[in-house]
Amino acid sequence: MKRIGKFHKVSWERFAEDWKDTFGETSEEELQKIYAEIKLPRRATAGSAGYDFFAPVEFTLEPGKTVKIPTGIRVEMEQGWVLKCYPRSGLGFKYRLQFNNTVGIIDSDYFYSDNEGHIFAKLTNDTNEGKTVTIPAGTGFAQGIFVEYGITVDDDVTDIRNGGLGSTTGK
């Protein structure tokens, strides 16, 4: 196996700002507790391809509802690799829990963005069976898989990222 990356927490300041932007005012005491309990992604078994991301708080999604989760996580990885993020297989199978962008793509240079490369997950309970899903705090809800990629022989891109969603389009 190639060892090409490392997960980190974002800074306390980054997490607090992004949490408040997503969920509104939260007491500093509660935010400190949430931040302290963030677990870095990890594989469940030696044969697992995916690194499980854990819910920072409990959340419940009724059918058709959406939640945006600031994970408190960033990832440092070698160039030529990408982290592809998906819902955990069982949640997709049982509840049709889906990422709103279908697959989250975390590029290697996202780590160096102004937002520290803070990884968010926006999930929708897209059930057609009327099922409500509850994810307890500390439970795996998403998984990230590192994938190597190539570029074309005539690629001459030298631009540098500075942002998150949509920051590399429209040039």
Give pTM, 2 decimals.
Answer: 0.90
Phi, psi of 144 (to 5 degrees): -115, 135
Predicted confidence (pLDDT) per residue in 61-105, tens digit: 999 999 999 999 999 999 999 999 999 989 989 999 999 999 999
5-148 CATH pick, 2.70.40.10, 2.30.40.10, 3.40.50.1820, 3.40.190.10: 2.70.40.10
Per-residue pLDDT tens over the stretch 23-75: 999 999 999 999 999 999 999 999 999 999 999 999 999 999 999 999 999 99
